A = this chain, B = another copy of it.
Amino acid sequence: MLKKKLLILRELQRPQSVWELISRYDYDLHALCDELKALLEDGLVEYRDGMLSVTEEGEMALEDAGIAPRAEVRCERCRGRGIVYDAFIEAFETYLSLTENRPAPVTEYDQGYIAPEDVMLRVAFIYERGDLEGKDILVIGDDDLVSLALAATGLPHRVRVLEIDERLVDYINGAAKEYGFPVEAGTYDVREELPPDILGLYDVFITDPVETLPGIRLFLSRAASGLKGEGSAGYFGLTTQESSLRKWREIEKMLLDMNFAITDILRRFSTYPNTGNIGAALEEYPVYIRLREILGDLTPPDTDFYSSSLVRVELVDRPRPLVTGHVELTDEIYVDDEAYVTAKASRVLR
């Protein structure tokens, strides 16, 4: 039996909602839906009262494949991250209070933010890699408010935020002023070249790009063009849920072509909490529509199911962005057939 099927059966030895299954599955949602549908049709999995579980036939298939009940190997203390933010607990508290009145995500930009704890872990990892202290950091798209988490540590030299949503720009600038943070936010549309006072002047970029190939090529090119040169580093989130491994390979090719080495890939490093991120909008997501087709009655999410890997790259030479200058956008830049959750629009692209 195919690995993509077996991994579903392995999880479903313990009955769980489809949302929990999604959170524990390392292939794209397309694959998950296809394989789950086949497993249900073949009678290896059943769906009852909102819970998926293996049937007796499913158990037999697992036995044939030599697969035992699932054991947990992710560290409980750091929830599998390897990183803790104890050293930045005060910064975290400041950051938490700064996120209390954050602008709510809006459908127009299809915003979604990372759990505050995971934002702080990202900051801690950036710190450990030597990319925080005294550094000039460029954030492209900041509904996570990572700029404020970075600044709350007191360690970066300055943080510049480029963001399309004026509410976020105002919010970040307001907080920066109140706290005396060296943070400056401005409105920016990724279709445009970076402003001349940013191009080639930053040590580090942070972004959570759209995951279509034309879209991510654009985001990562803009991000790369902001960097100084050899030794400058970038951090971005990439999901397996909306990006197949074929797409991962294409994205990795782009990164190498831009003169980056890929130095770290930390799986499921950033979780997107449902609370605050999704509401009624969920019913419009392709994944919801598809799952309802497959399962019939679909229960609301009972766990945070969307997460991304944290990728770190470092320039080994000058940045070589694949896109320069102004570009016209068409729909394929922000929607492809793997965009199952964030398909309606993108955060920075209009």
Which of A's residues lie within 8 Å of B, judged by CB? 2-4, 6-7, 10, 26, 65-68, 71-78, 80-88, 124-125, 127-130, 133-134, 155-157, 203, 231, 244-246, 248-249, 252-253, 256, 259-267, 309, 314, 316-317
B-side contacts of A261, CB under 8 Å: 245-246, 248-249, 252
A–B Cβ pairs within 8 angstroms, 24 of them? A4-B231, A6-B130, A10-B130, A26-B129, A26-B263, A67-B134, A74-B82, A74-B84, A75-B83, A75-B84, A76-B84, A77-B77, A245-B263, A245-B316, A246-B261, A248-B263, A248-B316, A249-B256, A249-B260, A252-B252, A252-B261, A256-B256, A264-B266, A266-B266
B-side contacts of A67, CB under 8 Å: 133-134
Q: How far is the CB of A112 from chain B (nearest CB, A)?
A: 23
Given A10-B130, A81-B82, A248-B316, 6 additional A-B pairs, CB 8 A:
A6-B134, A7-B130, A73-B84, A75-B77, A246-B316, A264-B265
Task: Find out whether the CB atom of A128 lies under 8 angstroms from the CB atom of B74.
Answer: yes
B-side contacts of A252, CB under 8 Å: 252, 256, 261-262
Docked Cα-Cα span, A252 to B82, in Å, equals 24
Closest to A156 in B: B66
Closest to A257 in B: B253
Closest to A126 in B: B73
Docked Cα-Cα span, A81 to B79, in Å, equals 11
Docked Cα-Cα span, A81 to B83, in Å, equals 8
Task: Find out whether the CB atom of B66 lies under 8 angstroms from the CB atom of A155.
Answer: yes
Docked Cα-Cα span, A203 to B4, in Å, equals 13
Q: How far is the CB of A4 from chain B (nearest CB, A)?
A: 7
Docked Cα-Cα span, A218 to B81, in Å, equals 33
Docked Cα-Cα span, A266 to B68, in Å, equals 26
Task: Find out whether the CB atom of B134 lies under 8 angstroms from the CB atom of A65.
Answer: yes
Q: How far is the CB of A88 from chain B (nearest CB, A)?
A: 8
Among A10, A155, A267, max chain B CB count under 10 A is at A267
Closest to A243 in B: B261
Docked Cα-Cα span, A126 to B336, in Å, equals 31
Q: How far is the CB of A30 from chain B (nearest CB, A)?
A: 14
Task: Find out whether the CB atom of B75 lies under 8 angstroms from the CB atom of A87.
Answer: no
Closest to A66 in B: B134
Q: How far is the CB of A180 from chain B (nearest CB, A)?
A: 15
Closest to A133 in B: B67
- Which of the residues B2, B76, B81 comes within 8 Å of A231, measured between beta carbons? B2
Q: How far is the CB of A161 from chain B (nearest CB, A)?
A: 19
B-side contacts of A3, CB under 8 Å: 130, 203, 231
Q: How far is the CB of A263 from chain B (nearest CB, A)?
A: 7
Task: Find out whether the CB atom of B80 lies under 8 angstroms from the CB atom of A82.
Answer: yes
